[in-house]
Amino acid sequence: MVREGYFMFDLPIILTGLAKVRPLFHSEADFQHALAWRIHELHPELSVRLECRPIPSESLYLDLWVRGTDSQLAIELKYAKREIETTIDGETYVLKNQAAQDIKRYDFVKDISRLERIVRAYPTASGYAVLLTNDSSYWTLSARESSIDAAFRIHEGAILTGRLEWASNATVGTTKNRKIPHTLSGVYTLSWNDYSLIPGHPVSGRFRYLLVRVKS
């Protein structure tokens, strides 16, 4: 359990509990709302806000902004989906292949960069970047070392730090609205965790999450 300022907060434990009642989600917004409600249930003393602008001078919207008396938590979420159709407790889930894994990796690294900006602005804040997926290509080391998104790879054991940018041969279609390199001041060694296992789906039924904590 991590002490965040004057309150105790353990996001992995919260996610473990959430997985028991919500082993998968319809969308990223569904994930966002479910996690916000779970945090509220476990920590009613904290305020939880969605799509909040913690730095008024910047157009930077956070997925979740959690505030205690003297501390803040900034949480960014990503939900990357592989095709799966299943029914759980009478509720049917139909997830389509999302693809564009290179863009999703870029956006996840961007989340870390944004969280670094927030914790610099709030000395008592911490940040969490979370990616939940049932697509094993995210946590598996690629054999293609020269891929255009090599700098943004987030497989098990990868290290993110410093200036990260697309390879020179990245196409305009891929980099559209995502040309800016990310520069991380921290050093992040990545470790994946199991979230849930959907029975009857040996390939796409394994959900795992990557959690990166950004300290002030």
Question: For every one of its 216 residues, what pLDDT tens digit does the chain have, with 9 covering 90 and above?
Answer: 555 554 578 999 999 999 999 999 999 999 999 999 999 999 999 999 999 998 888 888 999 999 988 889 999 999 999 999 999 999 999 999 988 899 999 999 999 999 999 999 998 999 999 999 999 999 998 877 668 899 999 999 999 999 999 988 888 888 888 999 999 999 999 999 999 999 999 999 999 999 999 987
Query: Residue 80: in which H helix or E strand, if any?
Result: strand 72-80
Q: What's the domain count of the chain?
A: 1
> Residue 114: which of 49, 43, 185 has the closest Cα?
185
Distance (Å, whole) CA 100 – CA 120: 31
Alpha-carbon Rg for the chain in angstroms: 17
> Residue 206: which of 155, 156, 136, 137 has the closest Cα?
136
> Residue 65: which of 50, 46, 44 has the closest Cα?
50
Q: Which domain holds residue 202?
A: 2-214
pTM: 0.93
